[in-house]
Chain A
Amino acid sequence: MGVLEISGADAEPFLNTVATNNVSRLQAGRAQYSYVLDAAGTVLDDIIIYRQGQTSFMIVVNAANEPKIEAWFDALLAGKAVLDVAEPGRKLECAPTIRDLRDLAVGDQARVDLALQGPASSEVLVRLAGEASMRGCLTNLKSFAFFEASLGGIDCLISTTGYTGASVSFELFVHPEQAPQLWNAILEAGQSLGVLPCGLGARDSLRIEAGLPLYGHELAGPFGISPFEAGYGWAVKLDKDFFIGRAPMAQGARSYDLQVARLEFSAARGVRPVRPDDPILDGQGACIGWILSSARAGKSQYALAYIARAEAREGNTVGAYYLARSASQVQQGRCERMDKGQTAEADLAGTVVGRFAKF
């Protein structure tokens, strides 16, 4: 993940201008999910803002979007970006200090992000800290909160955030040069608790099962999915006087026909996996949307799909159609793509389940 520090007297007004959620309501020691939009309302990234003090914030952006976000902030600070389509001459009236905390040049404050997620993670942190007081700190910590602590002599920012759906979950922000040491210490302290390294594919399965959006898939991407369609309208505070992209968001909040839904299909033996782009069909076999991401978890496969709002109610039965995966399947008459409204016979029945799951 990309980690940026935004500081100075202008940090709060800056974040309230460039991000959709309301930073003024964020207390020190708490974190907030938010969006960075351009003036046309295009989602540039989804981010988490950590408030460290009155004038000091840390923001975590998607690794793949970091160069884009840094360039966007630079353009805004240089007065070279349009803030408001209705008022193209509008200028940013704040100038915070922005630093890339992954850059070793920032010194001791450099930070990278390790995620320690799941039921045993608190116990691992208690073992690493070697102090009983850590248990109390962790037990009393709300979700989206953080504090600074030393884990076996390594200074960390410990936050109750994550991307797995685990109700006990932490992210550890640590100096890049100490990250390998912390990583090894976690594996050692957690060995008897079953702690394992988790790759990106495994992490993706978890976030899909949990219903969490991934930028480029359930957010923005080819469909240009908005925060409202993704199920996160609450992170767009239209009661703020202004933020970049506010006018198109106000419009988009009222009128959208499709939304992200979480679907469950069987993963019994012999059931072919559903895949991104596979169409979702209503009871009459008409295409009502498409799968964005899918993963297998136990006896089920979960899909996050972009489907007609009217069909997205929990408990609704839908069908999935397997798009052709090879030239020979196309020859046999299997569709390679399907448009909304086109009809086909469903290959697999599924159910709309709750938008999010907690574990």
Chain B
Amino acid sequence: MVVDGLLYTKDHEWTKVEGEVATIGITDHAQEQLGELVFVELPEVGKEFAAHKEIAVVESSKAAGDVYCPVAGKVTEINDELNTRPELINEDCYEGGWICKVQITDKAPLDDLMDAAQYKEFLETL
């Protein structure tokens, strides 16, 4: 499933840009590949990340995967609920399973991201 209105990376992160704030998560394709998630390492609030830096780690029983920050920004909010319910990412990756929000410090990397139609096309090439 791919949702319109979001931006996507080739590493299967999604981001929703609202003004200066970007909400970040992993896509349906990513959660499906990982299987049932059992642990999410969330970033610290206040920490700054350059674009493409590892911002979180998602782990299933069988695999661990890095989540890369699609933009440059400073973490303003994290989804604490994932500490006790990592499976929220499996159940609802685009809404309840969001990972963190960042205050965007550089919008330029957003230009490299795919829209929903482009990401759908990209998935078909895999």
Contacts and interface: CB of A to CB of B under 8 A. Distances in A.
A283 to B, nearest CB: 25
A240 interface: no
Contacts of A301: 61
Contacts of A340: none
Nearest to B84: A269
Given A326-B54, A328-B54, A275 B85 contact: no
A275 B84 CA distance: 20
B54 A327 contact: yes
A275 B61 CA distance: 9
A145 to B, nearest CB: 34
Contacts of A328: 53-54
Contacts of A275: 64
A325 B61 contact: no
Contact of A267 (B38, B64, B85): B38
B61 A205 contact: yes
Interface string B57-84: 1011110101000000000000000011
Contacts of A295: 61
A273 B61 contact: yes
Given A201-B62, A296-B61, A272 B54 contact: no
Contact of B39 (A270, A326, A329): A270
Interface residues of B, number: 16
B39 to A, nearest CB: 4
Contacts of A270: 39, 83-84, 86
A15 B53 CA distance: 56
Interface residue SS majority, chain B: strand
A198 interface: no
Kindly name the residue among A270, A296, A327 whose own CB sees the greatest number of chain B CB atoms within 10 A: A270
A272 B84 contact: no
Interface string A270-289: 11110100000000000000
Interface residues of A, number: 17
Given A326-B66, A328-B53, A271 B39 contact: yes
A272 B39 CA distance: 5
Interface string A194-235: 000000010001000000000000000000000000000000
Interface string B97-111: 000000000000000
Contacts of A271: 38-39
A267 B38 CA distance: 8
A43 to B, nearest CB: 26
A327 to B, nearest CB: 6
Contacts of A272: 38-39, 41, 59
B85 A269 contact: yes
Given A272-B59, A326-B57, A328-B54, 15 more contacts: A201-B62, A205-B61, A269-B85, A270-B39, A270-B83, A273-B39, A273-B61, A273-B64, A295-B61, A296-B38, A301-B61, A325-B59, A325-B66, A327-B54, A329-B57
Question: Closest 8 A-B residue pairs measured CB to CB?
Answer: A296-B61, A272-B39, A328-B54, A269-B84, A325-B64, A326-B54, A326-B66, A270-B83
